[in-house]
Amino acid sequence: MNARRLDTKKFEARNSMWYWTEIKNPLIVARNYVVVSLCRILPSLKLKNYLLKGLGVKLGKNVAFGLESTVDIFFPELIEIGDNTMLGYRSVILTHEFVGNEIRTGRVMIGKNVTIGANVTVLPGVSIGDGSIISAHSLVNRDIPDGVLAGGVPVKIIRSIESENDVEEN
C-alpha cells in the first residue's frame, strides 16, 4: 500500500476541529464555501471550472465536474486535475482531515483521462494515474497507478485497462 503524503499539525487542549480558524482565515473559508456550494449546482461546466480555478484548483482542459461534486473548502489550491478528467455525481475531493488532536493536509493529483464514478471520496495526499477509472462509491485512500480499474471501500485495484473497448466489453 502506498502511504499518503500528508503534513500533520498537532493540537493539545481540544480536538483539532476547534482550531480551524487558526488553520485558515475564516473569510477565505467562507468565500470558498459559497463558491464551492454554487459550483455543486451549476449546470455550466465552463463556469464551474472558471470559478474553481479562481479558488486555486489547478484544472486541465475539458475537466468535467458532475452535479453536486465537491472540492475541499479549506485547501482547494492543493488539488490538481488533468485534461479530460470526469468526476461523477456527488464525488468529493478532500485535501484536509481533522483526526483527533491533529489536522492532516495533502495534495491530491488526478491525472489525464481519468473517470471518477458517482459518490467517490478521494482523501488527502493521494494521486490517481492517467487513464484510470474509479468505480462508484469508492474510498480512494491510496495512490492509484495509470490505466487501471479500481474500486471499493477502501479502494483496491481490480484490473488493468488494456483499451477503451476492454471496459465496454466487461
Residue 162 makes CB contacts below 8 A (sequence gap 6+) with none
Q: Bridge-partner residues for 121, per DSSP?
A: 92, 139
128 with 109: CB under 8 angstroms?
Answer: yes
| d(C-alpha 162, C-alpha 168), whole Å | 11
**96 catalytic, yes or no?**
yes
Residue 56 identity:
G
How far is the CA of 19 from the CAs of 79, 93, 96, 127, 140, in angstroms? 23, 22, 13, 27, 26
Catalytic residue among 4, 48, 90, 96: 96
**Positions marked active-site:** 96
